[in-house]
Amino acid sequence: MKLFTRLLSWLAPFAWQIVLATLLGCIMIASNVALLSMAAYLIAAAAITSLLMLLTVPIAIVRFVGVVRPFSRYAERLVSHHITFRLLARLRVWVYTRLEPLAPAHLLRYRSGDILTRLLADIDELQNIYLRILSPLIVASMICLLTFALFSLFSLLLAWVALAFLLIAGVSGPLLAWFLSRKLGKQQLTLRALQKAQLVDGIQGIQDILAYGQSTAYEQNIRAVDAALGRVQARLAQISGLQEALNDFLMNLALWVILVLAIPLVASGAINAVYLGFLGLLILASFEALQPLAQAFQFLGHSLAAGKRLFEIADAEPPVVETKEPLPIEDAPTGYCLEVEHVEFSYSHNDKDVVLDDICLRLQPGQRVAIVGPSGAGKSTLVSLLLRFWDPTHGLIRLNGKDIRTYALEDLRALIGVVMQDTYLWHHTLRSNLLLARSGASDSELMQVLEQAQLREFVNQLPQGLDTLIGEQGLRLSGGERQRLAVARALLKNAPILILDEVTANLDYLTEQKLLDALDMLMRERTTLLITHRLRAMERMDEILVFDSGHIKERGTHSQLLAANGLYRRMFELQNGILTFSEV
Ligand SMILES: Nc1ncnc2c1ncn2[C@@H]1O[C@H](COP(=O)(O)OP(=O)(O)OP(=O)(O)O)[C@@H](O)[C@H]1O
């Protein structure tokens, strides 16, 4: 109920349009009731009366409601769909804005296909609540009252009987549909989300599935989910059929009962015989108002489950809470200083899973610091903390002397140009992928950063140059080209702090050397943190931190670390192939 009222609260800004849609819905059904019952009256009256003049008014009413019905139907659909689509668009934007602060920490718990289903299908599902439940419920109530009023003009007994049938059909059909399908709705949504997640995974991982010969097994998984979904849908269709049959049965039974009760009243002269057909068709036409209800309640479980899934993700506590009164980041013409003080971090907030422990480092303006170390040592995790994707479990990170939590996230991130290990590239042109960093950049600025990232020659030889489509996740580019494009994007951002996470990992020796030379120039004007496995050009670094299992094992300059004869020296010698066999 809480969930239902929360979903309904989204309708508040559309109150007047809802009143209009409901009014139009009432007019539409009422005109149908009038059309059928007046038509019955006309036929009976025409058979009895010899004076056709007396039928002028009923004929005019039939003509009038015949025209009103399609117009009111059209207008009602227009208004109600307008409300619904605007509402769904608002909801979609709201959920997306709630998703942003959750990224990436919280969203890693979900599969991309599942998030996509929540944003698209689950939100679409909510239209049932707005289009098929709220307005039809009000319209049905109004029509029941109207029918009762019309019957009571002839006989109170008939009025109560008609109302009783309408109530039984209006309550039992929807209740039965809701009761039988309440679990199925949730199952259908879960299976649909699973199906989408499976398909997204299958498409993204298609190369590996083929390479490992798993396509048959994968197809079987997809078929199994598809079959389960089919079974749920078949069951829902059966319930729909059952409910429609019940509705038809009650409608026809109501007609018979009304006729059986009305005939003696006609015979006794309490009701004029000309109205017998009118009464019969009045009850039949009134049932039209109930038709949407059962289907709506069949989908109620669905819609509520969709709302629950949506709010579950939208209400999640963001891992990083932005301060309500952020301090402005003061301009620092001489550059920005980042300090990491005794930082400890674990993804699970469990002391046993500490990924970073007692990390201290100072990145002074214009300084270049490298973090090196074995895989899984926590290097990229530190970058995530600097960007505030997560906050340290203990310790502090300062920017120009102040805790980074005192600044707005957007301001902090605007100062940092970052090339992540797994930078995402859009299925778009080279140009739009670059413009993400600075939307107003000119083509000559784009070519300049491409030059610095050692990619200009490559782009020049493409027939469509900057307008070349690079495919999903940039897959039409080689690993090295993707990485250089990511570097170019970070350079275009022209941020005073530069974080480069494994930027040369996929490059051949020559290109790596050229890129490092180009970066060397750029690093002079910026505060730079370089994360790398490859110990090249390390002599250019002001300080090198050697991470091992979340700790800083060694620190110093290249020559100091070589002299220390520790982990760094072993890594350096292994990479340069100068370790003697006995030392290995
Ligand atoms: N989102 C996450 N949730 C839980 N654990 C994570 C997450 N990301 C990384 N880890 C774990 O944290 C540890 C450090 O990972 P991190 O990516 O920081 O290492 P790294 O030094 O950058 O490694 P590499 O050089 O291979 O990129 C690893 O044990 C990893 O499994």
Q: Which fold has domain 338-425+479-576?
A: Rossmann fold (3.40.50)
| Helix 479-493, helix 443-452: angle, nearest 10 | 120
Banded model confidence at residue 583, pLDDT cuts 50, 70, 90: very low
Closest by alpha carbon to 81, among 14, 173, 138? 14
110-161 per-position pLDDT tens digit: 777 777 777 777 788 777 777 777 788 888 899 899 999 999 999 999 999 9
Distance CA 154, CA 276 (A): 10
Share of the chain above pLDDT 70, in %: 96
448-498 per-position pLDDT tens digit: 999 988 888 888 998 988 898 887 777 788 877 888 888 888 888 888 898
CA-nearest residue for atom 29, ligand 1, is 376
Q: 59, exposed or middle or buried, with CB in 10 Å at 0-12, 13-18, 19+?
A: middle
Q: Kindly state if the Cβ of 347 falls inside 6 Å of ligand 1.
A: yes
Token match 């994968």: residue? 218
Q: Kindly state if the Cβ of 379 falls inside 6 Å of ligand 1.
A: yes
Q: Where are the alpha helices (DSSP H) in 205-214?
A: 206-211
- Residue 439's CB: how many other CB atoms inside 10 A? 8
Residue 291's pLDDT is what? 81
**Bridge partners, 343 (sequence order):** 359
- Residue 234's CB: how many other CB atoms inside 10 A? 10
Residue 578's pLDDT is what? 57
Residue 41's pLDDT is what? 85
Judge whether 1-315 and 338-425+479-576 match in fold. no
Q: Kindly state if the Cβ of 429 falls inside 6 Å of ligand 1.
A: no
- The answer to whether the CB of 27 falls within 8 A of the CB of 72 is yes
Q: Kindly state if the Cβ of 380 falls inside 6 Å of ligand 1.
A: yes
ipTM reported for the complex surpasses 0.90 = yes
Average pLDDT in the 414-430 region? 84
C-alpha 380 – ligand 1 centre gap (Å)? 7
| Domain chopping of the chain, boundaries | 1-315, 338-425+479-576
DSSP 479-502: HHHHHHHHHHHHHHHT-SEEEEES
Distance CA 578, CA 432 (A): 45
Length of the chain measured in residues: 584
| Backbone angles phi and psi of 579, in degrees to 5 | -80, 135
283-305 per-position pLDDT tens digit: 988 988 888 887 777 777 778 88
Residue 580's pLDDT is what? 47
Residue 107's pLDDT is what? 67
Mean pLDDT of the chain: 85
C-alpha 241 – ligand 1 centre gap (Å)? 54
Share of the chain above pLDDT 90, in %: 23
CA-nearest residue for atom 4, ligand 1, is 347
Residue 234's pLDDT is what? 93
pLDDT over 60 at 582, yes or no: no
C-alpha 84 – ligand 1 centre gap (Å)? 44
pLDDT over 70 at 105, yes or no: no
Write out the two tokens for 296: 């709506």
| Helix 215-267, helix 276-286: angle, nearest 10 | 160
Lowest mean pLDDT among 8-22, 252-266, 292-306, 425-439: 292-306
2-23 per-position pLDDT tens digit: 777 887 777 788 888 888 988 9
C-alpha 68 – ligand 1 centre gap (Å)? 67
Distance CA 392, CA 344 (A): 6
**Bridge partners, 396 (sequence order):** 341
Which listed CATH number (2.60.40.10, 1.20.1560.10, 3.30.930.10, 3.40.50.300) goes with 1-315? 1.20.1560.10
C-alpha 376 – ligand 1 centre gap (Å)? 5
Distance CA 181, CA 308 (A): 17
Banded model confidence at residue 99, pLDDT cuts 50, 70, 90: confident
Closest by alpha carbon to 386, among 429, 428, 418? 418
State the DSSP H helix or E strand holding residue 234, giving kind and residue range, or none if neither. Answer: helix 215-267
C-alpha 378 – ligand 1 centre gap (Å)? 6
**Bridge partners, 56 (sequence order):** none
